[in-house]
Copies of this chain bind each other. A is one copy, B any other.
Amino acid sequence: MDFKVQAKDRKSSARAGEMVTDHGEIQTPIFMPVGTAGSVKAVQQRELHNDIEAQIILGNTYHLFMRPGMEVIEKAGGLHKFNGWDKPILTDSGGYQVYSLAENRKITEEGVTFRSHIDGSKHTFSPEFAIDVQRTIGADIVMAFDECTPFPCDYDYAEKSMKMTHRWLDRCCTRFDETEGKYGFDQTFFPIVQGSTYKDLRKQSAEAISSFDREGNAIGGLSVGEPAEMMYEMTDLVCGILPQDKPRYLMGVGTPANILECIALGVDMFDCVMPTRNARNGMLFTSEGIINIKNEKWRTDFSPIDENLGGYVDTNYSKAYLRHLIMSKEILGAQISSIHNLAFYLWLVKEARQHIVAGDFAEWKNIMVKKVSARL
């Protein structure tokens, strides 16, 4: 994988860059729609291409391992072939879902033993196994197997956990480097900074992770319930340590305002279930602010969802129609709102990129953060 920083903002740490993978280029900063079980919920693959202009999507290793399982994915020739998405894919390591979804989980130095939330079957994920699974899935970007600590987390646990994550990273790197992609294209590997909300631990972790000198680096363990200011502080600190010439991926973040603020701190890649999950509940992110489409005030508002966005979904459907679909629990409501929210997130990072290149990002960001956070 290649990465080049193409422009830097003068008044913030924001940068515009380009990653090149065997499945195509990614213009950063970028938001990556989450395709949990091999599908971005309620969105067709051609809609990801044409309406949303997604450049890379996520797959969740835990979900894909459970269903359809590695035998099916491998026989298909990898996830790209299986789900018909031909652009880049990043997979998480499965760790986060093991902690949040699985039952009876037990963490040891070797790895994590747990029972599936679907059928109760017993499994062990180790650093080596998480790499093997991601080799089989065929992700363009493979993530380290780490422990994502909750918030709040006491210092001793956070430190112990971080150190284990670093030892696990060693094992991940070894396994990744002694294996090869299965489907004829290159895969790259990103380690993950941990350390909870403790500055000294974050510093230690960022330095340790940097020393591995991989092609990109991620920041994990944030956006898990801590105040936004704390998340910004940790992100700022870590971005100051991670190498300038490599992409930085802030995992699981966040609201449109979070994304703009973290772009300003030097983050290049984001993912979050918020745009799709909230869409299904009728919460729309727009260029003018946040809409709860269930509110009575939209009942006879026949204007487009977001006039600044354009595109089929915004041109063909009105707020009143979308409200009716969401109120009536029609599947089409989830489809329209998911496409809209993701299109908005991709529009937002594209706008951010243009302002970084144009040199007025910081000013624009301050105005936009207020705008996109307002409740309409």
Q: Chain B residues near A323: list those with CB within 8 A.
A: 68
Q: What string of 1s and 0s marks CB contacts (under 8 Å) between A324-346 and chain B?
A: 11011011111110000000000
Bound together, the chains give a CA A38 to CA B38 distance in angstroms of: 30
Say yes or no: is A39 at the interface (Cβ < 8 Å to chain B): yes
Q: Chain B residues near A63: list those with CB within 8 A.
A: 328
Do A300 and B335 have beta carbons less than 8 Å apart? Answer: no
Closest residue on chain B to residue A38 by CB atoms: B324
Bound together, the chains give a CA A317 to CA B84 distance in angstroms of: 6
Partner of A325, one of B39, B302, B321, B336: B39
Number of copies: 2
Q: Chain B residues near A72: list those with CB within 8 A.
A: 299-300, 320, 324
Say yes or no: is A42 at the interface (Cβ < 8 Å to chain B): yes
CB distance from A72 to the nearest CB of B (A): 6
CB distance from A50 to the nearest CB of B (A): 11
Do A334 and B332 have beta carbons less than 8 Å apart? Answer: no
Do A68 and B320 have beta carbons less than 8 Å apart? Answer: yes
Q: Chain B residues near A84: list those with CB within 8 A.
A: 316-318, 321
Q: Chain B residues near A82: list those with CB within 8 A.
A: 302, 318, 320-321, 324
Closest residue on chain B to residue A84 by CB atoms: B316
Do A331 and B41 have beta carbons less than 8 Å apart? Answer: yes
**Which of A44, A82, A327 has the most chain B CB within a 10 Å cutoff?**
A44
Q: Chain B residues near A11: list those with CB within 8 A.
A: none
Q: How many residues of A contact B (CB 8 A)?
A: 42
Say yes or no: is A297 at the interface (Cβ < 8 Å to chain B): no
CB distance from A303 to the nearest CB of B (A): 12
CB distance from A254 to the nearest CB of B (A): 23
Say yes or no: is A32 at the interface (Cβ < 8 Å to chain B): no
Partner of A330, one of B37, B75, B302: B37
Contacts A75-B300, A316-B84, A321-B83 known; A330 to B68 CB distance under 8 Å? no
Q: Chain B residues near A321: list those with CB within 8 A.
A: 38, 76, 82-84
Q: Chain B residues near A302: list those with CB within 8 A.
A: 75-76, 81-82
Say yes or no: is A45 at the interface (Cβ < 8 Å to chain B): yes
Bound together, the chains give a CA A316 to CA B82 distance in angstroms of: 10
Q: What string of 1s and 0s marks CB contacts (under 8 Å) between A27-55 and chain B?
A: 00000000001111111111000000000
Do B320 and A331 have beta carbons less than 8 Å apart? Answer: no
Closest residue on chain B to residue A118 by CB atoms: B328
Say yes or no: is A67 at the interface (Cβ < 8 Å to chain B): yes
Contacts A67-B324, A321-B82, A324-B67 known; A42 to B299 CB distance under 8 Å? no
Bound together, the chains give a CA A312 to CA B43 distance in angstroms of: 14
Bound together, the chains give a CA A319 to CA B304 distance in angstroms of: 36
Q: 29 pairs across A/B with beta carbons < 8 Å?
A: A37-B324, A37-B328, A37-B330, A38-B324, A38-B325, A39-B330, A40-B332, A41-B330, A41-B331, A41-B332, A44-B332, A44-B335, A45-B316, A46-B312, A67-B324, A67-B327, A68-B324, A68-B328, A71-B300, A72-B299, A75-B300, A75-B302, A76-B302, A76-B318, A76-B321, A82-B324, A83-B317, A83-B321, A84-B318
Not counting A44-B335, A67-B324, a sample of 17 additional A-B residue pairs whose C-beta atoms are within 8 angstroms of each other reads A37-B324, A38-B325, A39-B331, A39-B333, A40-B332, A42-B331, A42-B332, A42-B335, A44-B332, A46-B316, A68-B299, A68-B327, A75-B300, A76-B318, A81-B302, A83-B317, A331-B335
